[in-house]
Structure 1
Amino acid sequence: MSERHALHALDSRPRPLLSRLRPKSVRAKIVALLMVPVISLMVLWALATVSTVQSAWTLRQLEELDNNLTGPVRDLVTSLQSERAAVTRHLSPSSGSGQQPALEQRHARTVQAMRALRDGVGRTSADIASLAPAVNRRIETVSRDLAQLQDDQAAIVARQKDWQSAYHGYSGAIDDVFAVEAALTKAEGGSSAQVVLPLAQIGEMLARQDAVANAAQTTGQMTEEQHRAFADAVGGQQALSANVLPDLPSELRSAYQGLLRSEPYRSFTSLQNAVLGDEAGRAVATEASAGRWRAAAETVTQDLGAIQADASAAATAEAEVASATALRQGAVTVILGLLAVLLALLISVRIGRGLMLELVGLKDSGLELAHRRLPQAMRRLRAGEKIDVDADVPVVPPGDGEIGQVGDALNAVQRAALQAAAERAELLTGVSGVFVTLARRSQSLVHRQLSLLDAMERRNEDPAELEDLFRLDHLAARMRRHAEGLIIMSGAAPGRVWSEPVPLMTVIRAAVAEVEDFQRVEIRRVADVSVQGSAVADLTHMIAELVENAASFSPPNTTVLVHGEPVGAGFVVEIEDRGLGMRPESMAEANRRIAEAHQLDLFDREQLGFFVVSRLAKRQNITVTLRRSAFGGTTAVLLLPTAMLMPFAPYTAAIEDTRPAARTAVATRAQEVRQSDMVSTSATWTGQLPTQPGPPARQLPTSTVRAAGVSPRVEVHGDDGTGGLPRRRPRVSLAADPPVEEPVEEPVDDATGGLPRRRPQANLAPGLRDEDGGNGEHAGAAVPRTSPEQARAAMSALQQGFTRGRNG
């Protein structure tokens, strides 16, 4: 498994939930970081608000309970106490029968009070269920007690119920009603509410004593059960009084202590003691008949009721104050909490916005460096311009905090990147200069090699050796093209320049002549069109590179096809081989390299041809595309722009060349001399080839160039004694010759045995020829040589002249 597939497999694994929920962008991370405390504060504020509102609502519910239940409970207690007093008097042995209407009236009040209590419970059932769930259960107990008393009414009226059971029945029902009030008091929880029930129970003890005393009045003495009940009531009163006194608020405590010190209470206490000391109970009967007991009991009961009413009012007021306070505190808590949340949110937003602005600034600065500054600097450097790092990336004041330090580091990175780009450009400029120097030297050596080959060819008359020398001549021509490619890769322009248009067929044939396997190249149909002189050299080099590439990457027994035709956007030249082709990804990469024409990658040593083609195509605005051919190989398509083309005209004018070391565009001698029995195709060309300016040369012999890549056939005279060997021709020059209308045969010199005659300097570039080196008059003269001594003397004389000129 490749590394890419392994990384893809790792990325495709299921990620944990936390990693998937983790924020990806910096903005999301900052928002998450700042929102955590804000959300926590909002949660605390919500809890405090809910708690405060709930407390206030609870107090409000308790107030509703007090208003709906406390009054009915107290009315029910009062009714039961009154009914109990009447029942105890009615059940006394000496009482008359006139008590029945009073009993029915008091019992009706009790039933009405119980109905009012049930209505209150119905209105506050929801509050009771949440605040005092025990109330319902205790009210049910009271209901059962009252139902029992209702069942006993007939027996009581008929005096079939004994006094003791009736007394305890009513007292038990009253205790159960007090249990309901106790549950309500526990729910309220106020200090004033806690003392209301004990005061009510003290009143109950007084009512019990009064009921026993009134019952004993009818008989004149107490029974043993009545005396025991009276003693229990007095004991309960004293116990409750001692327990409630410390819990009373200061105002109620003072009032209750005043009651205990009052004359009626002392008189009532003395009567209690007298009854307790008289087991027969005659004393209470005597006092009761005298009216002293009722007067003292009513006074104490009224004073105690006033204190109880004050305690109830204080409890109600305390509950209202607590409710109002809770509401105010809740409102303040809610408002302050909301302000705190808004303030925290505002601070978080400002901090987050500041961080985001700083981070976005860093991101924009990095993107500007990567997408604008560095590319612009590289383009300027490639164009030969110099950049000023201080102007492009000015020094900024140091920033505050870590993000500011990161910005300073990024600014330093930008300066270092531009400085590195400038240094790299200087290095590439130096390397390009080295390339140009080496190329120029290589060209000079190649030209010297061609001169030497010319001399060797003139001295040699052996056809086999001449064939080898012609092959060396062809290799030297290819070496010269590769030297030009090195100049192109270094960024310089080749020196070959034509001032007049050249037929496209001539350009294609000149390009094919520079390829090693030119025999395999077949030039098919090409429309009659000419190419601007300024584009001839680049187009020739480009076609030669592509043809050589097609011939190199196809089997030697196959043919490379070259043909062209006009299209709507210009002119198309197609170079098609029948090799194995390229993989789709390789072809796409090659097309990308040709289209982009980036700076030369010194490490990509196998794609230099693409770079040369890309440079030339960009210079001449030519579109080059590689695609798969129908034969399985590769087809290179060149789209020549319309601006490069001109109407076809026979090429007869002189061809200008501004560089002395420029090579000719004609076929090399390896193409010119081949066996005379080559077969030609129907596509022939008999016009002139472009060449460099130079002295006039002889006319070409009549020949027919094979369009299918077969070497041209050179006509020879069979009876001139040359043995059928091809006649050697000098390099063609059309500088001064008129257009050739008819082929002219080269006369054969019988003195050479039919071999080609050599002309001095005919095969040299124009800049390397002597002034009269190409003239026919000196065709047989030897090339002049300069001895080292002569060169040294000339240089010494030149230096002395410079010295005299500077010194005056």
Structure 2
Amino acid sequence: MKQISLRRGRGSSIRSRVLTIALIPSIALMLVGLAIGGYLIFDAVNGRDYAQRIRDSEAPSLPFFVQVQEERRLTLRELAGDRSQHATLTEQRAKTDAAAQGVAAHLQKFVGDSPDSVQRNIATLNGLLQKAPQIRQSADSGQLPLLDAFTFYNQILDQFVEGLTGLAQDAPNAENAYQRITAVPLFTAIDQMQRANALAAAAVAGGGFTDETYRAYVTEVGSYRSQLESSVSRMLPDVKAKFDQLVASDPWKAVTTVENTFLQNSKATLPIPEQTWLQAARGVSDAMMRGFVEQSGTATTQAVDDADRTLITSAIAAAIALLVAIGVFVIALRLSNRLIGRLARLREDTLDVAEIRLPELVDRVRAGEPVDLDDKGHFLDHGDDEIGQVAEAFNKAQQTAIAAAVEEARTREGTKAVFLNIAHRSQVIVHRQLKVLDQAERKQEDPEQLETLFQLDHLSTRARRNAENLIILGGGQPGRQWRKPVTLAELTRGASAETEDFARVKTAKMPAMAVQGPVVGDLVHLLAELIDNATSFSPPQSRVELRGNVVGKGVVIEVEDQGLGIEPEQAAELNAMLADPPDFGIMALSAEPRLGLFVVARLAARHGISVHLRESAYGGTRAIVLVRTDLLAPVPSDQPEDEVDPESTEVPEAAPLLPGRRARHRTEIPAERPELPVPMPVAPQQQAPEQPGSTLPPLPPRPPRVPRPETPRPEPIRPEPVRAEGRPQPVQPPAWPPADTRPQDGRPPQTRRPGPEAPGRPPLPQRRRQANLVPQLMEDRPAAQREEVREDTPELARNRLAAFQQGTRRGRDTEPTDDYTDLDMYGDRD
């Protein structure tokens, strides 16, 4: 430990000394550059802030300037004796106050960092604005002389003009200050013109000028004309062009005509209508104000541009100084730390190989791609010195790791082959076992023995599905395949029939849609796994609901149980696995592997089917399976629609099955031919009305109906149906060849078409009417009870009898024909 510490200490000391030699001049140069650049940047920021504050203050200041001028004109008119516009004056005062508040807020930005003269102007302006209510009150009472009011409003605007002059003198450079100063006389001329117009308006309203007002009028007119003459030569070209157009316009001529008339004779009257003159004066004032805004705005824009250029130049200079310092430091560091740099590159290359390139090679090996162990492109090359020897040692370690990965991949492939071989062998054995059970079920007539055989059949079906699970996990393809589409109703029945607790599965009526043949086997397997999970993780007395619905993207099949559900965190993990199934590996399995859901994820990913788990309204789990539209097909014309709703309480009208056909446990998917719904296997029960050998209570006689001429057709066997004399018995045409109808209790057999008999099969058992009735049903009912029995139509009696007959004839199917592809090893079970 001490040797390691000493070695580290010596290395750190050498590095610090070398870096000190390089850092001292670099840091000194960088500090000088940053100081100069910082000063220039600070100066540019101040100049830009100054110009921006002036620009921001122009927006509220100009409206305030116009509102004060208008209030001055209306106040002088009222003091001259014309009180007809007092309401207008009151409204104008409110506008002036609102504009004054906006100006006061912006002027606060100039307090503290502006010249003393500007700050004095701001303070004086605030004092005058606070005095405005008192002046207005005196004016309203008529106690304020006209010239005093004129002077008060002039002082407000004079402070404004003096403030502009002070700001122009405080400009960051001489050129910008000159441009601002040349704009101030234009602003002064506009105000003086409006002063003269206000005095003239008061004189017109009061019947003429007084000596004082006339002298003030002459002074204002002369002053503004003198200011304009001195400002024209210093106007910007665009501003001067617009001013020349204004001078040549009619409003300017009207204002000039009125001024010249009053200058020649103070007692003269207006040469034009008063309203025309006032509109012309306002138009001229607004046009001149726009010229001032353009002249002043150009100076402000130039000041901002100058500040931006200075800022950019300063930033570039500081950046250059910084880059030079960094360049000197980098050069010195590279020259002094070349050895350390090579070691750092070796470390980076080693990490790149260990974290990126080596895992990619291992993945290629596991995927079965050929890898050349002697390929030098995967190795590090850092020369022949000591660092290169370290890299060569790592290359040898990398080569050993790749060789181990190749050997592991070969072992995995061999294990996978054995894995699939065992699964296929188990699959063949289970298939043979199912055939033996099939033969035993056909020969056996004892209900108890049949129930046991049915249980064995279900266990064998589950064993077959487990073998298929192993094949799927091993990357193989199960043997069961279909070429033709299969309806959703038959598909879901087949899936529920593969579960042990199929009796708990309640299937709703499915949409009249079919699934393409290549997808049927995997979708049946997927649904069977979900149904099996639902029945396994829910109480035995609860039911599992299976329903389907057509949606915009295809068909949704929902499997919903009433169990305890799944924790939200676990549900999120399972949904992530179902959306993106991970690579299967024995070592990757957790303590609770959930192979069924892993198989579901694999099958769903194979066909692009979406599977999502969510909480059920009952507290359990709802599995939502979305089958895309491109996996669906129209219902084949040779297959009947699903006419029976499993959730319905009505007795469906049964159609006779093919003679000699084997009984199903519940409902299984046919091998590319239509399959009628069949009941699930149940143990013999003691309820008489629905069991073989029982009879329905006799129906009360009804009046005979007029018979309809019908073609004679075979009728299903009924247990002593009550008929009215002279009335023909209605018949139901079968959809398939009728089943065998044997004579009962010595009665002659009914007319039927003979069906094919399966060779080598024992004869079907004979029914004996009323042989298994309970004593209560053997006795006659009292007449009163018979009267209470509701009248059943012949159609309802026929439907009941047909449903009963359908259940007893499930075991008389013909031998299934094999319409599967060569990969199908299970006949018409799947």
TM-score, scaled to structure 1: 0.42
TM-score, scaled to structure 2: 0.41
Larger radius of gyration: 1
